[in-house]
């Protein structure tokens, strides 16, 4: 199935070789509208599923941004949509086979660290997989990665430093911290958020970890960026809604795009 997807895509992109992959999270998808050379709907690609979340478009977009060849997922597959975890990470394997060396994974997240405010951007320094499932379960493809891959540095240290430097040059405030993934789709309870804080999380969300684990396993460099869209349950007294999350992502969107475009230029 992987080869069918890769061959299908190659047939549509006329020799284009992406070196950077970007997974665009909720409300952050416009980078793909701004720069789009070829767009392939997920529903056309063998092995891809249709994305079911509003605010997620569901296409693979190829573009040149700041002199680099990029492939973007405009919309991702979430475990909570009912896809198997292997389907969630399938596009990352496809990107690897297309030649992608660096994956930028983005998401909307809830702030667990009380110092975070809605619309803050956070560079992910590490993660906690609290989804109860690992995307590498199953037969291992030894040609892509090890059976027991080291996860000591999923998020490439050199690039964390680079992103921080670029943000500071642009005058963009950047938080940093640990992202904890839960399955969703329900948001956390206040007790779960207190637990998340105790075990070392700064933000909580429902994505990113499966893709980052898979990319790291496959030898890709990884950059993780969260848009903190709300204070997680119990951190503030305000209740949570998906529309508030999308609104906060919209407020952060231009800052996020400016940062990502400059990061693309420098890596
Ligand atoms: N929790 C989990 N996922 C999220 C949140 C949250 O508070 N906000 C945006 N995505």
Residue of 80, 84, 140, 236 marked active site: 80
Residue of 5, 78, 83, 215 marked active site: 78
80 is catalytic: yes
CA dist 244 and 230 (Å) reads 8
Residue of 32, 72, 81, 113 marked active site: 81
Helix (H) or strand (E) holding 8, with range, is helix 2-13
Nearest to 53 by CA among 193, 188, 243, 240: 243
233 is catalytic: no
Query: With 0-12 CB in 10 A as exposed, 13-18 as middle and 19+ as buried, what is 15?
Result: exposed
Per-residue model confidence (pLDDT) at position 34: 86
**Mind listing the pLDDT tens digit for each residue in 62-99?**
999 999 999 999 999 999 999 999 999 999 999 999 99
Mean pLDDT for the stretch of residues 9-29: 92
Residue 237: pLDDT band with limits 50, 70, 90: confident
Per-residue model confidence (pLDDT) at position 245: 82
Token reading at 114 = 């009380």
Residue nearest (by alpha carbon) to ligand 1 atom 6: 110
Q: How far is the CA of 108 from the centre of ligand 1 (A)?
A: 7
| E strand segments, 50-98 | 59-65, 68-74
Per-residue model confidence (pLDDT) at position 51: 65
Per-residue model confidence (pLDDT) at position 243: 85
User: Between 105 and 33, whose confidence is greater?
Assistant: 105
Q: How far is the CA of 5 from the centre of ligand 1 (A)?
A: 31
Mean pLDDT for the stretch of residues 259-264: 96
**Mind listing the pLDDT tens digit for each residue in 169-208?**
999 999 999 999 999 999 999 999 999 999 999 999 999 9
Residue 260: pLDDT band with limits 50, 70, 90: very high
CA dist 222 and 210 (Å) reads 12
Residue 26: pLDDT band with limits 50, 70, 90: confident
232 Cα nearest atom in ligand 1:
7
Nearest-5° angle of CA 242, CA 243, CA 247?
A: 120
User: Between 124 and 252, whose confidence is greater?
Assistant: 124
Query: With 0-12 CB in 10 A as exposed, 13-18 as middle and 19+ as buried, what is 194?
Result: middle
Per-residue model confidence (pLDDT) at position 30: 84
Q: Which residues pair with 177 in a beta bridge?
A: 124
Residue 55: pLDDT band with limits 50, 70, 90: low
Tell me: pLDDT of 123 over 80: yes
Phi-psi region of 119 (alpha: psi -120 to 50; beta: other; left: phi over 0): left
Average confidence score pLDDT of the chain: 94
Peptide bond into 12 cis (omega under 30): no
**Mind listing the pLDDT tens digit for each residue in 204-218?**
999 999 999 999 999
CA dist 76 and 107 (Å) reads 10
Per-residue model confidence (pLDDT) at position 239: 75
Q: How far is the CA of 115 from the centre of ligand 1 (A)?
A: 16
Tell me: pLDDT of 101 over 60: yes
pTM of this structure = 0.95
Q: At how many degrees (to 10) do helices 85-98 and 209-217 cross? A: 40
Percent of the chain with pLDDT over 70: 97
Contact yes or no for 203/177 (Cβ under 8 A): yes
42 is catalytic: no
**Mind listing the pLDDT tens digit for each residue in 138-162?**
999 999 999 999 999 999 999 999 9
Output the DSSP codes for 105-154: EEEEEEE-STT--TTEEEEEEEEEE-SS--TT-SS--TTT--SS---TTS
Residue 241: pLDDT band with limits 50, 70, 90: confident
Q: Which residues pair with 205 in a beta bridge?
A: 181
């Amino acid at each position: 199935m992987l080869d069918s997807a890769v061959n299908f895509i190659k047939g549509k992109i006329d020799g284009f070789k992406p070196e950077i992959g970007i997974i665009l999270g909720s409300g952050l998808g416009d980078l793909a509208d701004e720069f789009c050379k070829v767009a392939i709907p997920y529903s056309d690609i063998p092995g891809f599923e249709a994305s079911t979340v509003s605010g997620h478009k569901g296409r693979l977009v190829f573009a040149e941004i700041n002199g680099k060849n990029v492939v973007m997922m405009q919309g991702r597959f979430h475990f909570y949509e009912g896809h198997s975890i292997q389907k969630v990470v399938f596009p990352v394997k496809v990107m690897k086979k297309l030649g992608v060396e660096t994956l930028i994974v983005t998401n909307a997240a809830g702030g667990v660290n009380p110092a975070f405010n809605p619309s803050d951007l956070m560079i992910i320094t590490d993660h906690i997989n609290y989804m109860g499932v690992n995307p590498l379960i199953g037969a291992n493809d030894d040609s892509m990665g090890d059976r027991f891959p080291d996860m000591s540095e999923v998020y490439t240290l050199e690039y964390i430093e680079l992103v921080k430097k670029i943000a500071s040059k642009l005058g963009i405030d950047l938080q940093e911290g640990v992202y904890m993934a839960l399955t969703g789709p329900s948001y956390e309870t206040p007790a779960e958020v207190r637990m998340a804080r105790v075990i070392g999380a700064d933000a909580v969300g429902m994505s990113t970890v499966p893709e980052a684990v898979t990319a790291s396993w496959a030898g890709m460099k990884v950059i993780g960026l969260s848009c903190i869209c709300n204070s997680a349950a119990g951190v503030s007294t305000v209740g949570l809604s998906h529309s508030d999350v999308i609104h906060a992502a919209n407020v952060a969107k231009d800052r996020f795009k400016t940062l990502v475009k400059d990061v693309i230029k420098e890596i």
